Structures are given as structure tokens and as C-alpha cells.
Amino acid sequence: MTIAITILVSILVSAFLAFARQPASTPVMRGYYLAQEMGCFACHGPGGVQGAANFGALWGETPPFKAGGAIMSFIQSDQDIREWILYGLPRRLWKDDVKPEVKVYRASEYGKDWVHELGVGGIVKMPAYEGLFSDEELEDLLAFVKLMSESKKPISELELKGRDLASSLGCMGCHGPDGRGGISNPGSFKGYIPPWDGDDYAELVRNEDELRQWILEGKIDRLEKNPLATYFTHGQTIQMPAFENVLRDGDLEAIIAYINWLRDNPISDHSMSDLGPWISSTVPDFPDITERGKWLYERSGCVSCHGPAGIGGVANKNASGGYVPSLEDLAENMELFEPEEVDMVISILNRGISLDDEELEVPLEHFDSILGQYKSIRKLILTGARPGSKGQPPAMVMPAWRHRLYTDNSPPSQADINAIIAYLISLYEFEEEDGEEMIVAVEDEE
């Protein structure tokens, strides 16, 4: 009888924890993931914040979702955004209510007038996603694009100061754009860092005193006194930094004022949703090692500090340079100076072979230098590092990944480390050689 009761209690506890650990998503979070799944970031840049070159476009690029940026020239309303997504062009730009066709021509056919002929379109055209997702998913995409492009701001000076401070201190690298996003955090109770405007925030911050302690100390007494809570808070990969030695007089009050404003001005409902790809502990099967590395980079939380696709730009107060370094030039740091050298290293890693394999023979004279850099990068990932500082300790440090990488706190394998390195070196953009003939797409005006 006692054994049966024990088993029943265990089942009930497990069921309760499974329910309690379900994350509460927001429209912005769901929209971000859907944009990534649909390939939006290939043209609008990693995370939608960088843009990408687009030959023949009005500004020479597909614009990023940047508040006050070029994308605002293409958007006049929420319905415009929906129609850009659904049809590739809003109805107000259609001729005779018919979507224009696209033809392909060579740039040489237009000579010096090719810019006039191409208009704002460019060679890369906006795809039409009609029928690929539900009405609810369309509204999630709208929420994400609106946040990135409009960036609704508070009115009071104190709240504005708090918003600027949160951005400059790197808070939004983890809590998402304007604090409305959130990213994966392996080992944490719900598997991710919650946005400030979401329901899960209220479980971690019950009052303003706890919020103050979170910001100043990176932890709170209520959770530190709970053994079950500390199992997750101490075991999670990304730890909340302590900003006590970073903030000046009045800074704390400003940040709190902004967070309170954010929670009073939600974008939409915060309904429960499956965030499987954000919190999954099992790596999906990928045909290519760089895709596996990208998944690990994003789902393990690397993106929160080093930025989408390693672009950097996340502020790190008191650190030398003031920012977490970008990783876009890792290939160059590994002394891989030609595309063929990058391809060779990725091909080796893709076969499941580490660069320090004793039987590996690589026909490169400077391979010993490449190998030395590879070992240094691998060690840095596994053991972590504290960046140089300007006197005071930096707000964020590089965590050690040797003990944890996934949501169940399991450590990385050699294949995991190789996949992350392969992905990062694949990001380097080599200069293209001149003389290649370009193909451009223009709208049929017939």
C-alpha cells in the first residue's frame, strides 16, 4: 500500500511539474520564431535587424525591421504589413487589382537606366506566404514586425531613461527587443528567459522589492531559500548578471519605471503556446553540420550575448570595448583566409572528424596555426572566460559550457562544439570577385 501511494504521489508530482514548466509565450516570441522558420531573416538580416544586400533595390538592400529605418517607406498601416507577408506586395500597389508578374532580364539590357527600370524592387523579391500559416500566426508575425519597426516608446523621461539604460546594459539581449522577446536558457525552470511583459515574469518577480534585488544582485532571497528553485536557478546556463556595481544614482528607479510601463502596455494576450524549438533538449537531425551548429547557437542561448548570426552589438558595461564581441569574423581569427579553406574545415567537421585527430592530414601549409586557434576556441567555449574590464567587473561574462548545453543540463559533445565552430566560421563574408554578370528581376509593366 505504501509503495502504491509513493508511486501515485510521484506521478502526480511529475505531472504537476510538467504542467508548471510549460512556458507562457507572447505574440512577439511566436512571431520571431515563425519569421525564422519562414526564412524572413535570410533577406531582412539575422533577427530582422541587419538587412541584406539586394541588387537593384532603392537603397541597395532588403531593409531590416528597424524602427525609423527604410522599411517605414514601404509600410503605411498594419494591413500593409499583412499584405506584404501574404501577397509579397500590398494591394494599394497592384495595378487594376492584379498582382504584377515578375520577369528576369540581364542588367546589361538596361545600361545606365537599370535603377529606374528596377524601381524599389531589386533582384530579390518579397515572397508570398498566403496559405502557409493560420490567421493567428499572421497576427503573431504582425506583432513581431510592428515591435521591430515601430518600437513603441514610453512618454515620461524616467521611463525613456530606463528603456535606454536597459538597452545599453545588454538587458534586451536576453529579454528580447524592448524586453518583449526572451530567448532559450537551457537548464532553467521553463527553458527560456521570459520577456518582461509576459506571464512568466510574474512568477519570478512578485513585487518591486524582488525586482530591485534581481537587478542589483542577480538573484532573490525567496528562490535562494528554496532547494528546488536553486536547482534550476543555479543550474541554468545563462545567469542573471548583478548590476549593483554598474548602476548610478537614479538608474535603478528608471529601469523599474520602464519595466512597469512595459507591463502596463502589452502588445496582445500572452496565451500558452508550444515553444518546443525554444526549449527542446534534443537536437533534431540536420543534413549539414552548420545547420546543427546554428540550432545549438540559438537554442543554447549564445545568441543572447553575441547577437543573431554572431553580429554582436550587445552592450556589456565595464567590459573592454563596451560590448560582447561579434563572431562574424571567427574564420579570419582561425586564419582561414580563403573560402576554400573554410569549406575544407567544414567538410572535415561534417564527417565527424575533429581538427586535432592524429590521423588527419590537411594540405595547408599553415594548418598548425589553424589547429592552434581551433583548440583555443574550443577551450574558450568549454571553460568560459571573463572579458577584460575597465576597473569594475563587467556585467556579463562568458559562461563555461562544459557542464551544460541542453535544457536537461547535459554537457556538450565534441560533435556539438564542432558544429558550433562550423556554423560560426560559415558566417564570414569574403569579398566577391569582380566581373561576374548579374541577373536582375523586374516587374512586368506591360
Q: Kindly state whether residues 213 and 291 are assigned to the same domain.
A: no
Cα-based angle 131, 133, 134 (whole degrees, multiple of 5):
100
- Whether 287 maps to a domain, the answer reads yes
Task: Read off the CATH number of the domain in which 200 is found.
Answer: 1.10.760
Give residue-wise pLDDT tens across range 60-90: 778 888 765 667 667 777 888 888 888 888 8
> Which comes out higher in pLDDT, residue 17 or 132?
132
Residues 257 and 168 in one domain: yes
CB 408 within 8 Å of CB 281 = yes
State which of 238, 254, 279 marks the end of a domain. 279
Residue 182, CA distances (Å) to 11, 140, 159 in order: 31, 15, 20
- Over residues 168-174, the mean pLDDT reads 86
- Nearest CA-CA partner of 419 in 310, 303, 291: 291
Provide the pLDDT confidence category of residue 117 given band limits of 50, 70 and 90.
very low
Under the banding of pLDDT at 50, 70 and 90, the label for residue 253 is very high
Question: 406 near 281, Cβ under 8 Å?
Answer: yes
Tell me what pLDDT residue 419 has: 92
The answer, yes or no, to whether residue 216 has pLDDT greater than 90, is yes
Task: Please provide the average confidence, as pLDDT, over all residues in the chain.
Answer: 78
pLDDT tens-place string over residues 429-445:
887 655 444 444 444 44
Res. 278: pLDDT tops 60: no
Q: Are 422 and 284 contained in the same domain?
A: yes
Q: Is residue 302 domain-shared with residue 415, that is, in the same domain?
A: yes
Q: With cut-offs at 50, 70 and 90, classify the pLDDT of residue 202.
A: confident
Q: Angle 289-299/339-350 helices, nearest 10 degrees?
A: 80
Residue 72 is assigned to a structural domain of this protein = no
Whether 231 and 21 have beta carbons less than 8 Å apart is answered as no
Instruction: Quote the pLDDT of residue 224.
Output: 93
Sign of CA dihedral 301, 307, 309, 311: negative
Residue 28 lies in a domain: no
- Which residue's entry shows cell 518583449? 180
Query: In the predicted model, what is the mean pLDDT of residues 231-258?
Result: 90
Residue 97 has pLDDT above 60, yes or no: yes
| pLDDT tier, 351 (very low <50, low <70, confident <90, very high otherwise) | confident
14 against 116, higher pLDDT: 14
The answer on 286 and 265 residing in a single domain is no
Strands 102-106 and 61-62: unpaired
State the pLDDT confidence band at 59, using cuts at 50, 70 and 90: low
Domain total in the chain: 2
Residue carrying C-alpha cell 494591394: 91
**pLDDT bucket at 20, cuts 50 / 70 / 90:** low
3-state secondary structure the chain: CHHHHHHHHHHHHHHHHHHHCCCECCHHHHHHHHHHHCCCHHHHCHHHCCCEECCCECCCEECCCCCCCHHHHCCCCHHHHHHHHHHCCCHHHCECCECCCEEEEEHHHCHHHHHHHHCCECCCCCCCCCCCCCHHHHHHHHHHHHHHHHCCCCCCHHHHHHHHHHHHCCHHHHHCHHHCCCCECCCCCCCECCCCCCHHHHHHCCCHHHHHHHHHHCCCHHHHCCHHHHHHHCCCCCCCCCCCCCCCCCHHHHHHHHHHHHHHCCCCCCCECCCHHHHCCCCCCCCCHHHHHHHHHHHCCHHHHHCHHHCCCCECCCECCCECCCCCCHHHHCCCCCHHHHHHHHHHHHCCCCCCCCCCCCCCCCHHHHHHHHHHHHHHHHHCECCCECCCCCCCCECCCCCCCCCCCCCCCHHHHHHHHHHHHHCCCCCCCCCCCCEEEEECCC
Q: Do the Cβ atoms of 400 and 235 come closer than 8 Å?
A: no
Query: In which region does residue 22 sit, left (phi positive, over 0), alpha (psi from -120 to 50) or beta (all else)?
Result: beta
Do 259 and 384 fall within a single domain? no
Q: Containing domain of residue 172, as a range? A: 153-279
Specify whether 191 is located in the same domain as 226.
yes
pLDDT higher than threshold 70 for residue 349: yes
Domain final position from 263, 279, 295: 279
Q: Tell me the per-residue pLDDT of 257-269, one tens digit each, with 9 for 90 and over.
A: 999 988 888 765 4
For residue 9, tell me if it sits in a domain.
Answer: no
Q: Which of 262, 279, 296 is the endpoint of a domain?
A: 279
- pLDDT of 392-413, one tens digit each? 778 778 888 877 666 556 678 8
Would you say residue 201 lies in a domain?
Answer: yes
The pLDDT of residue 433 is 57
Among 100-114, 241-255, 369-383, where is mean pLDDT lowest?
A: 100-114
The confidence score (pLDDT) of residue 200 equals: 86
Q: Count CA atoms within 13 Å of residue 7 on its CB side.
A: 4
Contact at 8 Å (CB) between 148 and 49?
A: yes
**Does residue 399 belong to any structural domain of this protein?**
yes
Judge whether 275 lies within some domain. Answer: yes
Q: What percent of the chain has pLDDT over 70?
A: 77
Residues 415 and 306 in one domain: yes
State whether 323 and 410 are in the same domain.
Answer: yes
| pLDDT band for position 94 (cuts 50, 70, 90) | confident
Overall pTM > 0.85: no
The span from the CA of 136 to the CA of 365, in Å, is: 56
% of the chain residues with pLDDT over 90: 21
Whether 256 and 199 share a structural domain: yes
pLDDT at 112: 40
Q: Are residue 297 and residue 416 in the same domain, yes or no? A: yes
Lowest mean pLDDT among 228-242, 247-261, 265-279: 265-279
Residues forming a β-bridge with 106: 439
Q: Are residues 367 and 269 part of one domain? A: no
pLDDT over 90 (residue 372): yes
Task: Decide if 397 is inside a domain.
Answer: yes
